[in-house]
Structure 1
Amino acid sequence: MMNLFRMLKLTTWSPPRVLVTGFALIIMIGSFLLYIPAASTNGVSLSYIDALFTAASAVCVTGLVVVDTGTHFTIFGQIVILTLIQLGGLGFMTMATLFAFMLKKRISLRERLILQEAMNQSSIEGIVRLIKKVFIYSVVIELAGAVLFTIRWAFDMPFKQAVYFGIFHSISLFNNAGFDLFGEFRSLTLYAEDPIINITAMLLIILGGIGFVVLSDLLDYKKTRRLSLHSKVVLSMTGVLIMVGAFVVFIFEYTNEATLGLYGLDGKVWTSFFQSVTPRTAGANTLDIASLRQATQFFIIILMFIGASPGSTGSGIKTTTFAILLASVFAMIRGKDDVVLFRMRLAKERILKALTITILSLVFVVSITMVLTTTEDQQFLKILFETTSAFGTVGLSMGITPELTVVGKLLICLAMFVGRLGPLTLAYALKTKKEKTLYRHPEGNLIIG
């Protein structure tokens, strides 16, 4: 791994710059593999912009597609997409570290710093142990999901196809990618009322979205009898967002004959919860998103913008950022000096970082949306939905992805890339070397509100 760094002259680069470059290289390699005729069922090369879009969507674990994955791509093309999803979900540095383990190579301090940035950790302490756990958790969870899917789909298709579908969709859902093989852009709509498919898919999405640190905390709970503040916030916010989301979808869509109105009470409950879980950045759906009422679509935009949790396979501003913002608002309203979560005071640095991430993300989404409204002949809500879905690496769409212009596809690719890495990481990668300020300006007063 260090030989690769030296060859690419990355040893003097900052960790954020290495991550940005690494993800970009993987996308470019993936786009060329999907561009060759062997990747397409008709034997004709996919247009390069569509190959680039698909590769970016896979590496950024988004799931937005311009061609149908199940019918357009050959087994070779689908395996390339699946490999890109796995690389993008776990991160190329995680995979490189696993290869280093197998080759019994020592992980240097610089590589640990890059891993720290990739896993969004506050220190390098225990980072190598965490990477080992990430691999074990991923294999076990994806294997369990594949087995459950295979057993269920063996009743609907030949066993070999059921195994292949089980593996593909388990990896896709755990990595919050949202790619599917059912054809005609249907996702999981054929199984909207199926308890096994719904429960398995939702568990994969949630486990992939809460983050590996939280998974480690939960598995160690019997021994430690405690959860970190991070795990408490992630689990509580995830639970609240899922319950509130399911309630909103159920209420707004109950009488919609194109969505929940198609099902009985059990089906209404299953589809409401699934549509609440999937904006965690998963991208799979059991209802036609374009048929939802505008109020529901806008609410899903909010859920997609919040996204998953830090150190997970998902994106968005993250649940912890949203929790800090809410806690800060409540502290201000109550006249409190400190922002407190679970009886723990948050450092000012954490609050400023949460605010910075939110503002940068909001400005980015608004900017891309404004440009797309001039390049695309689509309704504003559809464009905002598509942009937020790309930035949150969700993959839900109101059906406009294949109709995007070349400029529109490139802008959505950019949104997926920035969303997967995070606007703050990208800003750190682009900035010049940090210089320490040797002075402070005098304090001033500014009227607010």
Structure 2
Amino acid sequence: MICVEDWAENRRLHRAEQMPIRAIARHLGISKNTVKRALASDRPPKYERAPKGSVVDAVEVQIRELLRETPTMPATVIAERIGWQRGMTILKERVRELRPAYLPADPVSRTTYQPGELAQCDLWFPDVDVPLGYGQTGRPPVLVLVSGYSRVIIARMLPSKTTGDLIDGHWRLLSAWGAVPRMLVWDNETGVGRGRLTSEFAAFAGLLATKIYLCRPRDPEAKGLVERANGYLATSFLPGRHFGGPDDFNRQLTAWLAVANRRVHRTLGTRPVDRWEADKAGMLTLPPVDPPAWWRFATRIGRDHYVRVDTCDYSVHPRAIGRTVTVRADTEEITVTTAGGDVVARHARCWARHQTLTDADHAASAAVLRGKARNRQDPRLAATGTDTRPALVEVEQRELGSYDRLFTVIDGGNDQEEG
């Protein structure tokens, strides 16, 4: 079974580069049948083994010391200095990973982009408190994409920067474009990947048939377009605005970007919208599969009949108690379905933290079921068919004065009472 990265690369080379199956197999060093299976599947392969350590771990400290003194020292010289007795391939791979951290600064020059070549991506955290509901305010992240050729900007506020919300945000923004750039440039964002893509983002890249490039650490110039776009949003969109919530923020941002993309870009000397059609023509088409349907989780509904997504609890219809359900979440909606496709919960996504959201119909149905449970016949009757409880004993109710006479508190004590 191939890894998710190779699966994604198979699809990218076939769809974006128009490379035949035999060439892909030769390029990746795998069989043609493996390539065919990867192209036939819309789902990433599932990797189940736990990662194991490497024999290079024991000498990594020594390698770092040598690279700190001489960053350009060849791997063969490093092997000689540390007395390496094993294969060179694994050592060279580790040196290749560690070397960039010790190399001197690498200045960049101005880059030109071809239509549809790439889009730079980043998260912008606006310096304004946005009402999230339930008396809470926050500063959720805004996903910003800038196309390299046309400089068209598109952005959307997300509930969080988790992998699932980032994927859903990408999908909505790319759907608004109606096309997919051949490369998406990201820095080392945790939800996307540090050094290497997360398995979810690698699968997302494979579905889009695009390449996601992760910049080197401490290299903001590699995505200077989107960094400048973030500053543009902070200085030209944000000042003086007030927002009623995330939806209002996205509405105002979308309307403002429609105007901003029609302004003359200083570097290009033309308007981004005037270059957009040529830019879009060089991009890839959107796949027919909706990617948020991939990221879901299954859980069994207990008597509490609630499911937790992020930090909030959402009610589920009590008819699902004891059953295993599938919970699907995106940036706008939470949906819970049974194995038979029965929708037992549908809630708007809550942006506030640590809230409990209860559907009125779910609460009413639960109250009815609780009443029936309390009035249910005793379990022993259901088991035997007869009433096995002890018969009730009738107790005599005596006058209070008889107790006074019994303990000789008043006249006519024990003798009288006994008589």
Instruction: Please give the range of the TM-score, normalised by the shorter of the 2 chains.
Output: under 0.3
TM-score by length of 2: 0.20
Ranked by relative contact order (alpha carbons within 8 Å, sequence separation 6 or more), the top structure is 1
